């Protein structure tokens, strides 16, 4: 959870109000006015900046660009689910992206389901897609940082073809004390929300090969990559079986479901400060023509 979220939301809303209502309507959000009323501001809703951004295309980076399910999106600020499909905008190793949609810590709003409009994600060599939350390295902000302490809000990732049955990567927290939260990425196997990222489609587009190299310490773009050929794939997920696993590994998948980790693995030692993950977006390496 960002400390400054509410401040930024209120700032944006006030900016919107003080510069007249032109461009401030959000036709997709009937709850915008309700949220403003809840803040004591009254009046109409407004258009989030994410609504005015578009994901990059045309060079082999395929951004998930369609929201299938984000049931508690309000269309406002960090609760605008459009921020999860408008492209990836990292803010460097030491800052979290602000181009994000924040999940709820529990309930239906703790997951989001996205897809790539009209196509499926195909299996490719190496990692097949990358999930970007907005983690950042804690500590000294230069290359003397040991890069073993991340402010992270872990996510669990699953994929499927029917919105009912899902296969995942068997995420496992391996700290020797399973009841203590440690922000060292080496303990968070096959979660997302773990690896900071510098890829930003606007200010740091990188090359395609750099973007699909998630080793942020050694020149890659960062983010959390997943491979359908990983031996862990199919060892978790609601409704996963060997038939679905094989189908996805052979012919790809349509939907990705991204959930606040503790809502699936309830024993994880994730406190309230790390329980509202923020989704910048997802990219795939290959999709159907
Ligand atoms: Ca692969
Ligand atoms: Ca976050
Ligand atoms: Ca985004």
DSSP state of 136: E
Instruction: Give distance in angstroms: CA of 2 to centre of ligand 2.
Output: 7
What percentage of the chain has pLDDT greater than the value 70? 83
Determine the distance separating the centroid of ligand 1 and the alpha carbon of 175, expressed in angstroms.
27
Output the CA 249–ligand 1 centroid distance in Å: 8
The pLDDT, as a whole number, for residue 26 is 40
- The model's pLDDT over 171-212, given as tens digits with 9 standing for 90+, comes to 999 999 999 999 999 999 999 999 999 999 999 999 999 999
Cα-to-centroid distance, 171 and ligand 3 (Å): 24
Domain residue limits, the chain? 1-47, 50-284
Mean pLDDT of the 1-19 span: 44
Report, as an integer, the average pLDDT of 58-79.
Answer: 97
Backbone phi and psi for residue 68, each to the nearest 5 degrees, phi listed first: -95, -40
- Backbone φ and ψ for 172, nearest 5 degrees, come out as -140, 130
Higher pLDDT, 3 or 120: 120
Given a cut of 60, is residue 25 above it in pLDDT? no
Mean pLDDT in the chain? 88
- Residues 129/89/136/84 CA torsion (nearest 10 deg): -60
Alpha-helix residue ranges (DSSP H) falling in the chain: 5-18, 32-38, 208-211, 242-251
pLDDT at residue 39 is higher than 60: no
User: Angle 116-122-126 (CA atoms, 0-180°, nearest 5)?
Assistant: 115
Tell me the pLDDT tens digit for each residue of 127-139.
999 999 999 999 9
User: Does residue 27 have a pLDDT over 90?
Assistant: no
Point out the least confidently predicted range of 30-44, 47-61, 217-231, 260-274.
30-44
Q: How far is the CA of 255 from the centre of ligand 1 (A)?
A: 16
Tell me the pTM.
Answer: 0.85
Mean pLDDT of all residues in 19-43: 39
What pLDDT, on a 0 to 100 scale, did the predictor assign at position 49? Answer: 87
pLDDT exceeds cutoff 80 at 155: yes
- Region for residue 211 given its phi and psi (left: phi exceeds 0; alpha: psi -120 to 50; beta: otherwise): alpha
Checking if the pLDDT of 256 tops 70, the result is: yes
Least confident range of 48-57, 263-272, 275-284: 48-57
pLDDT surpassing 50 at residue 29: no
Q: How much is the pLDDT for 47?
A: 57
Please give the torsion angle defined by the CA atoms of residues 23, 56, 102 and 165, in that order, rounded to the nearest 10 degrees: 130
Q: Is residue 5 over pLDDT 50?
A: no
Residue ranges of E strands in 208-277: 224-226, 255-260
Structure tokens at 88: 């990836």
Q: Per-residue b/e over 219-255, b at no fewer than 16 CB within 10 Å?
A: ebbbbbbbbbebeebbbbbeebeeebbeebbeebbbb
> Ligand 1 center to residue 274 CA distance, Å?
30
Coil, strand, or helix at residue 257? strand
């Amino acid at each position: 959870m960002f400390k400054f979220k509410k401040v930024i939301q209120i700032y944006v809303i006030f900016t919107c109000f003080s510069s007249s209502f032109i461009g401030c309507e959000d036709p997709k959000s009937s709850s915008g006015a309700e949220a403003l009323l809840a803040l004591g501001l009254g009046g109409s809703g407004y258009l989030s900046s994410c609504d005015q951004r578009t994901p990059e295309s045309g060079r082999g980076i395929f951004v998930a660009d369609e929201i299938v399910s984000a049931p508690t999106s309000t269309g406002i600020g960090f609760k605008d689910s459009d921020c999860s499909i408008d492209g990836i905008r990292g803010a460097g190793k030491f800052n979290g992206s602000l181009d994000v949609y924040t999940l709820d810590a529990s309930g239906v709003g703790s997951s989001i389901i996205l897809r790539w409009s009209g196509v499926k994600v195909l299996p490719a060599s190496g990692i097949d897609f990358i999930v970007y939350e907005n983690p950042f390295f804690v500590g000294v902000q230069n290359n003397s940082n040991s890069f073993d302490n991340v402010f992270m809000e872990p996510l669990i990732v699953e994929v499927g073809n029917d919105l009912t049955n899902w296969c995942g990567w068997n995420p496992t927290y391996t700290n020797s004390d399973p009841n203590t939260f440690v922000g060292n990425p080496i303990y968070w196997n096959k979660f997302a929300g773990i690896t900071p990222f510098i890829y930003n489609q606007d200010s740091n587009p990188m090359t395609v090969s750099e973007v699909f190299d998630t080793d942020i310490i050694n020149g890659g773009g960062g983010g959390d990559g997943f491979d359908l050929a990983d031996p862990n794939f199919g060892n978790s997920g609601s409704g996963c079986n060997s038939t679905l696993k094989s189908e996805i590994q052979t012919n790809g998948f349509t939907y990705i479901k991204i959930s606040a980790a503790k809502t699936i693995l309830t024993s994880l030692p994730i406190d309230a400060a790390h329980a509202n993950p923020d989704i910048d977006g997802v990219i795939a390496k290959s999709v159907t023509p």
